[in-house]
Amino acid sequence: MRSAFDFAPFRRSTVGFDRLFDMLENSSASQTQENYPPFDLIKLGDNEYRIELAVAGFKPEEIDITAQQNVLLVSGKKSEESENRGQDYVYRGIATRSFERRFALADHIQVRGADLKDGLLAIELVREIPEAMKPRKIDIGGAEGKQSAIEGGEKPASKQTVDAEAEHA
């Protein structure tokens, strides 16, 4: 299903953002998904997040959390023995139906851990950018100038000019 907005001009002028545009185009289809269980998404810091899902009535062994590449899948299924404890319910307001919740994760988001307390499942997330992906300063100059500076012990020509100007000032 196509969205009302055309991303073609952006696709032509960007490299490596295909997944982002696909997600934006398919977002209208995902808005029809069920809203169970409800959740909160909390930003704890620049690179730290927490997802809290309301999973009242579920035990830790009835919940499965799977982190795949750029997708976090949280699913829950009540076991047969806990659903049918021989109790005759007059009214059952606590939802115990099975669920599956998917969260799209950005690149380099890692799941740190999960905890179930007071009916809330808290999943800790952190963005860990590899050293190779972090910004780094690129020096201007050819490889030959750096090689001779290392071997000969002399400064590159651009450094000599700057140092000479500093001495005359």
Determine the longest span between alpha carbons in the chain, in angstroms: 95
Q: Considering only 20-24, 54-58, 69-73, which range has the smallest mean pLDDT?
A: 20-24
E strand or H helix at 111? strand 109-117
* Residues 110 and 126: beta-carbon distance below 8 Å: yes
> What does the pLDDT look like over 100-131, one tens digit per residue?
999 988 888 999 999 999 999 999 999 988 88
pLDDT digits (tens, 9 = 90+) for 51-70: 999 998 899 999 999 998 88
Q: How large is the C-alpha radius of gyration of the chain?
A: 27
* 139 burial via Cβ count (<10 Å: 0-12, 13-18, 19+): exposed
Q: What is the CATH number of domain 35-133?
A: 2.60.40.790
Beta bridge partners of 104: 71
Q: Which pLDDT score, from 0 to 100, does residue 149 have?
A: 47
pLDDT at 36: 87
Residue 65 to residue 48: CA distance in whole angstroms: 18
Please tell me the predicted confidence (pLDDT) of residue 84.
Answer: 57
Residue spans per domain, the chain: 1-32, 35-133, 141-169
Lowest-pLDDT range of 13-27, 86-100, 122-136: 13-27
